[in-house]
Every structure is written in C-alpha cells, then in structure tokens.
C-alpha cells in the first residue's frame, strides 16, 4: 500500500492530523532519486487562539499560508540559519499547521530541512509529487500506546498555559540512528 496524502487528509482537525502523521513517510525527490523517511515527531499549531502559533497575532506576509488551503507547505526561516518545515491543516481561513520535527534517522527540524535540502523555495507549494516533496501512507498502523504526547519545544516565552499544551507527538521507541 502506497498512497500520497491529499488535501482531504490535512483538512481535518489539526491535532488529529498531527497524530495521524506519525508513521507516514515524508518523501523527497532529488533528481531521479526518491528518498522516503518515516515521520517520528510532529508539533501542532492550532488556530489563532494558540499563543505559540505564528498566527496568534493575525495574518502577516510570513504566516499567510497558514490561513489558506490545507496540504500546503509552510516553510519559514528562524535563528538566521534554519528552515522549518510545516504542513498547513484545517479548513481554509483557519490558521493551523504542523511542524515536522523529526523523521527516522534525523532528529530536529533544522537538521531535517538541511539534510533534505528543503528551503523557503517550497513555501506555499502543495505537498504533491510535482513539488518534489510530499507525504505517503505506506500502510503502517500506529497504536496510541506507541505515541508520547508532550509540550512543544522552544515556546516557553508564551507563558505556561499555551507552552504546556500537549501538542507534540513523538514515538516512544527511538528511531534515531
């Protein structure tokens, strides 16, 4: 079984999509080669009320794709060095996205984009085959017991209520190499 995830998958509630992304495969096309990496860690940024979300202060040039269609890449630059890979979720007009923090063999969102050669060039592009970066369901079934929920990383500045939300999903089993 190998099915490319479409808008329909990403349009659902952000926390549900985040959970469902674990065990899916991020596929990167480089020239003729396609390399697939199982997703092992994600974080949800859910709606304008979410103080840790870029969308919390309203729409800006940077975050505007979060307000648009689901299944689109939201890629932004932080700390003068790293591109962060997110996929837009939820209905149009509702600002939400999921940060892909890790895949099998690569831990950390900055390392991930660096290793796969993902930059802002892909921002606002659809997560489909022709864009060279997409996500596939390869039939892996994930049980709730395999997943750990924790608070999100690097967002303590927003205060305890929102920084402590259990919006980070990660496999308990260590998939690092």
Partner DNA sequence: ACGATGATGAAC
Partner DNA sequence: TTCATCATCGTA
Stretch that binds DNA, among 4-12, 13-21, 70-78, 140-148 (CB under 7 A): 70-78
For residue 127, the minimal CB distance to DNA (Å) is: 15
CA angle 22, 24, 25 (to 5 degrees): 125
For the chain, the 3-state helix, strand and coil shares in percent, each to the nearest 5, are 25, 35, 40
Residue 77 contacts DNA per CB under 7 A = yes
**Minimum CB distance to DNA smaller for 32 or for 160:** 160
Residue 57 contacts DNA per CB under 7 A = yes
Q: Within 13 A of 141's CA, how many CA atoms are on the CB side?
A: 1
Residue 84 contacts DNA per CB under 7 A = yes
State the maximum Cα–Cα separation within the chain, in Å, rounded to a whole number: 47
Q: Which of 5, 66, 72, 127 binds DNA (CB under 7 A)?
A: 66
d(CA 109, CA 88): 16
Tell me how many helices (H) and strands (E) the chain has. 4, 10
Residue 94 contacts DNA per CB under 7 A = no
Residue 77's DSSP bridge partners are 83
Residue 81 contacts DNA per CB under 7 A = yes
* Residues forming the site for DNA (CB under 7 A): 43, 45, 52-55, 57-58, 60-63, 66, 74, 76-82, 84, 86, 97, 99, 108-112, 120, 152-155, 157
């Amino acid at each position: 079984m190998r099915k490319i995830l479409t808008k329909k998958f990403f349009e659902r509630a952000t926390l549900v999509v985040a959970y469902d992304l674990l065990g899916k495969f991020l596929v990167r096309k480089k020239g003729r080669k396609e390399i697939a990496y199982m997703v092992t860690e994600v974080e949800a940024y859910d709606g304008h009320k979410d103080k840790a979300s870029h969308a919390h202060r309203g729409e800006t040039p940077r975050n505007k794709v979060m307000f648009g269609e689901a299944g689109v890449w939201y890629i932004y630059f932080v700390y003068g060095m790293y591109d962060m890979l997110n996929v837009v979720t939820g209905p149009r007009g509702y600002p939400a996205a999921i940060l892909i923090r890790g895949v099998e063999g690569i831990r950390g969102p900055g390392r991930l984009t660096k290793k796969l050669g993902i930059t802002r060039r892909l921002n606002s592009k659809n997560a489909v085959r022709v864009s060279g970066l997409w996500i596939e369901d390869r039939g892996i079934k994930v049980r709730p017991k395999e997943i750990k929920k924790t608070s999100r990383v690097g967002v303590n500045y927003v205060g305890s209520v929102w920084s402590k939300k259990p919006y980070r999903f990660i496999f308990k089993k260590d998939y690092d190499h």
